[in-house]
Structure 1
Amino acid sequence: MKTMKLGWCLAFSTLLFATACTKKEAIATDQNDTPHDTVKGLSGVQGLTANGDTLLNVTYESGTTNSDITGVNPTNATATDAAYMIGSPGTYRVAHKVTLGQPGYYSNEAYRSESDADYAANARFIPGDERRYEFMLLLKDWEEWNPANPAYGDNIFQLKVSGGALVPVRILTKRNAIVTRNTTNQDNLVTDFRPYINQWIHFRIDVKWATTNTGYLKIYTKLPGQTTYNLVLDRANYATYTGTPDTLPGQHGYIKWGVYREAGKDANGNVITSDNVLTRIAYHDNIRIIQLPL
């Protein structure tokens, strides 16, 4: 009897292992739906790791647009498809959509649908903090820029400072490139994104937040087909934090990801929708904040 029970257990265990392996292999073969990376020591509680080095880890594996993390806001836009889930268990992602001229995609005084972690305390930053930010981006059916139209930008990731301060780091599409802007500079990160439409692009941002010329900013990309991150921007010895925390107690920085359209306006302040692509959709995943140094 004991032999029969042992044999049954071994057979059942083998079946479970084979099933798990088959699912993992099936997920891994889809180039546009790569499985989530693992974070060593991940506790699964509020997106934090056990050792505290990872301050935020948004994987969307809860199947919800806030990844079941307190303080993550999916969007302030009211359209039902302004933020929605795509994928399946193991490959859940969030999608943000914005259509110019439609009020359901207008929020916070702009045509935008962005998630943020402003109320996730561990995700905030202040001068003196040193952080790594990572995220994955897929430009869904992204229409190419028409040179006959103005070169408006579409923000896809922001590191912002509360209290009305200038945005210290923005990543956006401009013409057919992906660029970054701060208060004084604009730099190319991906010179031409067109070969990578509907594919995942990985970004990594290392920054030391400072109000004096002691900060730094490094941005890396990992394009489809690449196995390692490549440094594409290295700026040192400048003030990265744009706020004034000495005079604005409680001021802090936070992250946003999604789609924020920079549409044109006519002389009466009305949004011009005929000179730009009407609808933009972007997928995001694996939004992480890691405390530096590692």
Structure 2
Amino acid sequence: MRSKLSHALHAAAVIGLSLCSPLAGAQAPLLSVDYETGTPDSGVANLTLSNASAVDAEFVTTDLRRCPSRFAIGHKVVLDDPAYVSDGAPRSEAASNRAANGTYRPGDHRRYTVSVLLKDWEDWNQVSAPLDIVWQFKHVGGGPDFSIGVKRNALVLRYGASGQVTLIDDIRPYDNRWIDLRMDVRWSRANDGYFSADVRLDGETDYTRKADLRGLATFDPRFAGEFGYLKWGLYRADSRSANGDARIRVAYHDDISAVALP
């Protein structure tokens, strides 16, 4: 059941959805996934799609579109249903590991943007506190260098062995509304890398800085892999229906880009 707060704010959310947010920067991106082809691969050669077998685990949608875009990608995960299992876990994700300019390595300096919408997102049950991941900078041969997901009723960014910052304290007012994320990263194995994260909520014209982490190894030296890549969708590794966690989750994504910085 959605909370009374979600229902009370639903009308305001619908109004907000009618507003078109400006798209990120004019600079030509190294990688652009905007789904304007109306296909799950967005016309990007070798984009990796979900391995979940359910027909609605990954789908192109025109529902709640992010203006002026016509299409977005939706990912759905249903707990306890093998049709929504991909690579041994309850998840459905797209990835840039095989796409041209879809990877990152130490020394790269990049700006990344992505827009996320949490579709009919059930509120935290106040019992267990899993992390439902909607974005990863995935390091091959190991875990994510950074990940973004919903924990309790907050959108959080995790990094390193135990680092965490809060991007949005309470996501409930933004149920079914687009959230724009912008991330600048200097990738490094040594302690001279940096990472910043900005958030722009529905109806806002400017980004707000939420994280500025400097003097750290952004390309996590705990992992042996030589490169990383982008993943987006839903990954629900620690959600359990037995704990009362929402059985069905759906997330939309749009306008994924990677731009080279000086």
TM-score per shorter chain, which class? 0.7 to 0.9
| Alignment pair present for 1:166 and 2:143 | yes
Residue 222 of structure 1, aligned match among 185, 191, 200: 200
- Larger RCO: Structure 1 or Structure 2 (Cα < 8 Å, ≥ 6 residues apart)? 2
**Shift in Å, 1:31:** 2.0
Counterpart of 1:71 in structure 2 is 46
In structure 2, the CA distance between the partners of 1:32 and 1:274, relative to structure 1 (3 Å rule), is: farther
Counterpart of 1:6 in structure 2 is none
Paired with 1:277 and 1:244, the residues of 2 have a C-alpha distance of 32
Paired with 1:122 and 1:90, the residues of 2 have a C-alpha distance of 23
Kindly indicate whether the alpha-carbon contact (under 8 Å) linking 2:102 and 2:230 is maintained by their aligned counterparts in 1.
yes
Q: How many residues align?
A: 243
Paired with 1:36 and 1:64, the residues of 2 have a C-alpha distance of 23
**Partner deviation per Cα, 1:214-236 (whole Å, 9 max, x = no partner):** 10010000011211111100110
**Larger of the two Rg values belongs to structure:** 1
| Alignment pair present for 1:135 and 2:114 | yes
Give the partner amino acid of 1:166. Answer: G
In structure 2, the CA distance between the partners of 1:188 and 1:38, relative to structure 1 (3 Å rule), is: closer
SS of aligned partner of 2:195: strand
| Alignment pair present for 1:196 and 2:171 | no
SS of aligned partner of 1:122: coil
Kindly indicate whether the alpha-carbon contact (under 8 Å) linking 2:136 and 2:230 is maintained by their aligned counterparts in 1.
yes
Counterpart of 1:81 in structure 2 is 56
Counterpart of 1:275 in structure 2 is 244
SS of aligned partner of 1:206: strand
SS of aligned partner of 1:37: coil
TM-score when normalising by structure 2: 0.86
Paired with 1:138 and 1:107, the residues of 2 have a C-alpha distance of 21
**Shift in Å, 1:73:** 1.7
TM-score when normalising by structure 1: 0.77
In structure 2, the CA distance between the partners of 1:291 and 1:63, relative to structure 1 (3 Å rule), is: same
**Shift in Å, 1:275:** 2.1
| Alignment pair present for 1:57 and 2:32 | yes
| Alignment pair present for 1:177 and 2:151 | no
Counterpart of 2:235 in structure 1 is 260
Counterpart of 1:17 in structure 2 is none
Kindly indicate whether the alpha-carbon contact (under 8 Å) linking 1:101 and 1:273 is maintained by their aligned counterparts in 2.
no
**Shift in Å, 1:198:** 0.4
Counterpart of 2:78 in structure 1 is 99
SS of aligned partner of 2:104: coil
Paired with 2:122 and 2:71, the residues of 1 have a C-alpha distance of 24
| Alignment pair present for 1:108 and 2:94 | no
In structure 2, the CA distance between the partners of 1:144 and 1:38, relative to structure 1 (3 Å rule), is: closer
Give the partner amino acid of 2:91. Answer: R
Counterpart of 1:205 in structure 2 is 183
**Shift in Å, 1:108:** 1.5
In structure 2, the CA distance between the partners of 1:91 and 1:39, relative to structure 1 (3 Å rule), is: farther
Paired with 2:99 and 2:222, the residues of 1 have a C-alpha distance of 21
Paired with 2:188 and 2:157, the residues of 1 have a C-alpha distance of 19
In structure 2, the CA distance between the partners of 1:196 and 1:63, relative to structure 1 (3 Å rule), is: same
**Partner deviation per Cα, 1:63-114 (whole Å, 9 max, x = no partner):** 0011010121221111100000111894200000000000011112210000
Give the partner amino acid of 1:73. Answer: T
Kindly indicate whether the alpha-carbon contact (under 8 Å) linking 2:16 and 2:177 is maintained by their aligned counterparts in 1.
no
**Partner deviation per Cα, 1:24-46 (whole Å, 9 max, x = no partner):** xxxxx9825847737647xxxxx
Kindly indicate whether the alpha-carbon contact (under 8 Å) linking 2:24 and 2:113 is maintained by their aligned counterparts in 1.
no
Kindly indicate whether the alpha-carbon contact (under 8 Å) linking 1:161 and 1:243 is maintained by their aligned counterparts in 2.
no
SS of aligned partner of 2:83: helix
User: Which stretch of structure 1 is more off in the superposition, 79-88 or 91-100?
Assistant: 79-88
SS of aligned partner of 1:121: coil
In structure 2, the CA distance between the partners of 1:220 and 1:90, relative to structure 1 (3 Å rule), is: closer
